[in-house]
Amino acid sequence: MAGRSKPQDINNEKPKVYYEDTPDELYEIEKTYSEAEETLIKFVEKKIAQMNESLLFNGDDSPSFGKLNQSLMEYESVMLGLLTLHQEARFKSQVAQENYDNFYAQKYVEVKDRDTTLDNKKKMLAAKEIEMVVRKENMAALAKLKAKVIESENEYNFINHLVEGWKNYQFVLGTLSRNAQAEAAASGVSYRNPMEDGYVSQ
């Protein structure tokens, strides 16, 4: 991170660097998190739109036998797709956290080695002080890595919610199927439930 330096004096002493937050640095950090938030929102909106396309209802008060059968038959393929997304999101989240941890560990060791030399033993920094120096000197880089962690974790949690919601949707389909069977039986119409034929897992 760039810092401000005092001019060298006549003895050519090394200038002391003051790590100061500049408006540009703070703006870049805020921009990093804002972009991550926008990416997450787009991801959520896209997945919600895709899920809506797979739902049976779409404003219909009473789905026809054909639509009900189609939804029952397609339920499992949608679930498998969600499980694939779930694993991908989980992996992405783990990698993002690993990248952050590795970068932080590298910078932590660098600061510790720099400030615990033989000539500086009496001025050794405490662990908490080292952490603060690492965060201060690498603020922008850590912000980018942390934004990826936050973004990927939220994607993973969102996919979890979709999976659970789709599991609940199976019960809705089952209820509609049983109601349709009852109505068909009452009217003398033959109707078979794909769930009972083993097309959809319970």
pTM beyond 0.85: the answer is no
Q: How many domains does the chain have?
A: 1
pLDDT confidence of residue 158:
94
CA–CA gap between residue 154 and residue 133 (Å, rounded): 28
What distance in Å separates the CA atoms of residue 28 and residue 140, rounded to the nearest whole number? 7
Half-sphere exposure of 162 (CA within 13 A, CB side): 29
Domain that holds residue 176: 90-182
Residue 134 lies in a domain: yes
What is residue 173's predicted lDDT score, i.e. its pLDDT? 80
DSSP character at residue 56: S
- 195 in a structural domain: no
In a domain, 197, yes or no: no
Has residue 172 been placed in a domain?
Answer: yes
Using CA atoms, how far apart are residues 51 and 107, in angstroms rounded to an integer?
Answer: 43
Dump pLDDT digits (tens) for 6-42.
Answer: 444 444 544 443 345 556 777 888 888 888 989 999 9
Residue 120 lies in a domain: yes
Residue 34 counted as domain residue: no
CA dihedral for 78, 83, 87, 89, sign (positive or negative): positive
Q: Is residue 166 part of a domain?
A: yes
Q: Considering only residues 13 and 158, tell me which one the structure prediction assigns the higher pLDDT.
A: 158
User: Is 108 inside a domain boundary?
Assistant: yes
Q: How far is CA 45 from CA 38, 145, 176, in A?
A: 11, 23, 28
Q: Which of 25-39, 111-125, 157-171 has the lowest mean pLDDT?
A: 111-125
pLDDT tens readout for residues 49-104: 888 877 765 555 666 777 777 777 788 888 899 999 999 999 999 999 999 999 99
Please give the pLDDT value at position 16.
40
